[in-house]
Amino acid sequence: MRYKAIHDIKPKNSGTAKMFNNPLLDKLTVTHFSIPISMLVLFGIGFIYYGTQYTLLGINQYLILIISGILSWTLFEYLMHRYFYHMLPTNNIKGWIQYNMHGLHHEYPKDKSRLAMPPVMIIIIAFLFLFLFKMILGVYSYAFTAGFLFGYAGYLCVHYIVHAFQPAKNAFKVLWSNHAIHHYKDPEVAFGVSSPLWDHVFRTMPKKKTI
């Protein structure tokens, strides 16, 4: 099968994609957005609680670590979106990964059932990040990971809002406009979904704010 680059995928106004021919496996790839968001928030709270019970960090340290985790998420989100999700399908392996992780979302942007990772993947991701950050940060990892997961949950909220609702007359309008441009005008700009910060830093902000 020949896979298309993201910029060659034409968005459809309705329908949904099939990731697996097996109906049970395919069913496991869809979820209501509220489930993974709730799980990420609960995992974050759980990691904070565990950290307060088994480490001697102060409140100020926790706040700094949580905020650092949230900010780190926005950078991670940007880099993943730009360089991993939008990688060129130069072979079938890359093409399969790119399409199933992100290309199908560009093809069916109105499919609300695939705006978030399914619950099983959320569990794996949450504890994988905790493991990785613990190797690097030690006792500081619990609060940092919590912030990172809160950032992820915020991203999922924003992503659902900009796809499911009309643009609001508040700060979300900028995020909605940027993401709409990314989907329908130019997929090589506006990689930040929850924040335009890194698009400003790396100069990938769209030239026009509205469509």
Between CA 150 and CA 195, with CA 114 as vertex, the angle to 5 degrees is 40
pLDDT per residue rounded down to tens, the chain (211 residues): 577 888 888 888 776 767 767 777 767 777 888 999 999 999 999 999 999 998 889 999 999 999 999 999 999 999 999 999 999 888 888 888 888 788 888 888 878 777 788 889 999 999 999 999 999 999 999 999 999 999 999 999 989 888 877 776 776 788 888 888 998 899 999 999 999 999 999 999 988 654 4
**Which residues touch 44 (CB under 8 Å, ≥6 apart)?**
145, 146, 147, 149, 150, 153
Q: Write b or e for each residue in 7-45: b if 16 or more Cβ atoms lie within 10 A of its Cβ, otherwise e.
A: eebeeeeeebbebeeeeeeeeebebebeebbebbbebbe
Between CA 185 and CA 189, with CA 187 as vertex, the angle to 5 degrees is 95
The tokens of 140 are what? Answer: 């500081």
Calpha distance 40→158 (Å, rounded): 15
The tokens of 148 are what? Answer: 């990172």
Q: Identify the pLDDT of residue 193.
A: 93
**Which residues touch 58 (CB under 8 Å, ≥6 apart)?**
none
Q: Identify the pLDDT of residue 26.
A: 67
Calpha distance 175→194 (Å, rounded): 7
Calpha distance 98→90 (Å, rounded): 10
Q: Identify the pLDDT of residue 48.
A: 96
49: left (phi over 0), alpha (psi -120 to 50) or beta: alpha
pTM value is 0.91
